Amino acid sequence: MLILASASPRRRELLAQAGFSFTVESADVNESLRDGEEPTAYMLRLAVEKAQAVFARHSESSGAPSMTASSSWVGSKNDPLIVLGADTSVVLDDEILGKPADAADAMRMLRRLSGRTHQVLTGVAAVTRAGVMSGVETTEVTFSEIPEAELAAYCATAEPLDKAGAYGIQGYATRWIPRIDGDYFNVMGLPIARTAKLIETALAECERRS
């Protein structure tokens, strides 16, 4: 049984397109950045914590997943429970650009991204009765110079407000992106090839430990 610990419609769409059957349960975790925490460590921690939070709901006790449990809360021997967590951020000059607070904040972010190359990081984690497997995918995204009139028109819409860095690569902002280096789907919110491999590896590890 596979559970996606994310309410993101884009992640649901990508996972379904890749042929996976799954249910969705959003995770409620503290997403505050810790003092001195670097972007890669932050993305990895959030992905793991989200997956662990949902996994714990299906356990008989709180805390870390059991390495030896065999009861129904971790799935059957032939269909073990796998909880997938993910979190994506836009990073520029080692600073995380989250979702903008409002249109003015979106304009501020996009002016910073204009004409420059930034990174999109997605942490992905699979939690099972065998433990935790995780990793971070990085894609470099290059923006052309954004005309001020286009920027104003875009930020007057609701589109940038629910997206890290104030843009989605599959939306209006695609006109400003002449180049990416890495996984396109990572920029959408889920590096699907890496995720598929992670799920396969987690399943194999559960079978090995059965």
Q: Does 87 participate in catalysis according to the annotation? A: yes
Q: What is the pLDDT of residue 13?
A: 96
Ordered by where they begin, the domains of the chain are: 2-209 (3.90.950.10)
Specify burial of residue 58 (Cβ count, 10 A radius: 0-12, 13-18, 19+): middle
Q: Considering just the CA atoms, what is the radius of gyration of the chain in Å? A: 18
Q: What is the pLDDT of residue 39?
A: 96
Rounded Cα distance, 188 and 206, in Å: 29
- Tell me the pLDDT of the chain (210 aa) as tens digits: 999 999 899 999 999 999 999 999 999 899 999 999 999 999 999 999 999 999 999 875 434 443 333 333 455 556 789 999 999 999 999 999 999 999 999 999 999 999 999 999 999 999 999 999 999 999 999 999 999 999 999 999 999 999 999 999 999 999 999 999 999 999 999 999 999 999 999 999 988 877
Place of tokens 């397109």: 17
Q: What is the pLDDT of residue 78?
A: 62
Closest CA to 95 of 81, 116, 78, 76: 116
Q: What is the pLDDT of residue 207?
A: 87
Closest CA to 25 of 66, 69, 80, 85: 85
Q: What is the pLDDT of residue 196?
A: 96
Q: What is the pLDDT of residue 76?
A: 53
Closest CA to 194 of 125, 94, 146: 125
Rounded Cα distance, 56 and 59, in Å: 5
Q: What is the pLDDT of residue 97?
A: 95
Whether 107 and 27 have beta carbons less than 8 Å apart is answered as no
As given in the structure block, the two tokens for residue 199 are: 């799920």
Partners of 117 in the beta sheet?
A: 142
Q: Which helix (H) or strand (E) holds 108?
A: helix 103-113
Catalytic residue among 28, 35, 79, 87: 87
- DSSP SS3 for 131: strand
Place of tokens 């890290």: 164
Rounded Cα distance, 188 and 182, in Å: 12
